[in-house]
Amino acid sequence: RLRSFISLIRFIISLAANQSLTILKQVYAPDLEAMFYSCQSIHKFVDDLSQKFETAQVTTDVETIHRTVVKLEVDLLKNWLADTPDKYNEILYLIGRKDNHLWRYSTKIFSYILQKLDLLESVQKYHGQIPHSDDYIRLEEYLQSFHRESDKIERLLVDRIHIDLMLNISEEQYADRSIDR
């Protein structure tokens, strides 16, 4: 919870250093911790915060505000995921929605999910033939439940796995595999 509060303070200072105390007082509530109990509550809090910055007289341009807001939301979601790792599907749903740009800064979230599911290790060990397990079945059911809306999530997962596989291969292994072909 402290990490989330520190992220919030850094966010406010980065966008409105001169007005940071005033804005912090506006958004701070005794139950601020309760605002971060679910993905939807985090999303709503960040939307409200974004609107406050847009109406406040800050010198930062709107594009910078939006980009920084998205980064804050991803940071808060990442902290929430660390506390509730079994609810990763809620974050995937939020990232997959078309009305936000969370996917742009979601690398750490996807890395965490892949690590939790041991997906990269399974891909390496079984050469892409992922065995059936409760976690994988749950992920597959989740992705199928959103039909075409999950395309973005599937693509991001595949890209993350591909990048991790490329980073894990040594130059010597790469040369050996190239020669074998």
- What pLDDT does 74 receive? 93
Among 48, 83, 118, residue at a domain's last position:
83
Among 83, 114, 132, residue at a domain's last position:
83
Same domain for 111 and 166, yes or no, is yes
Same domain for 13 and 77, yes or no, is yes
Residue 170 sits in which domain range? 99-181
88 lies in a domain?
A: no
Q: What do you get for the CA distance between the two ends of the chain, in Å?
A: 51
**Integer Cα distance of 77 and 112 in angstroms:** 12
Same domain for 66 and 104, yes or no, is no
Same domain for 141 and 174, yes or no, is yes
Q: What are the mean pLDDT values of the chain's consecutive 10-residue runs (181 residues total)?
A: 79 78 72 73 88 76 86 92 90 87 90 89 84 85 77 88 82 58 55
Among 50, 83, 116, residue at a domain's last position:
83
- What pLDDT does 175 receive? 58
Same domain for 59 and 3, yes or no, is yes
Is the Cβ–Cβ distance between 135 and 117 less than 8 Å? Answer: yes
What type of residue sits at position 41?
A: S
Q: What angle do CA 65, 71, 73 make, to 5 degrees?
A: 100
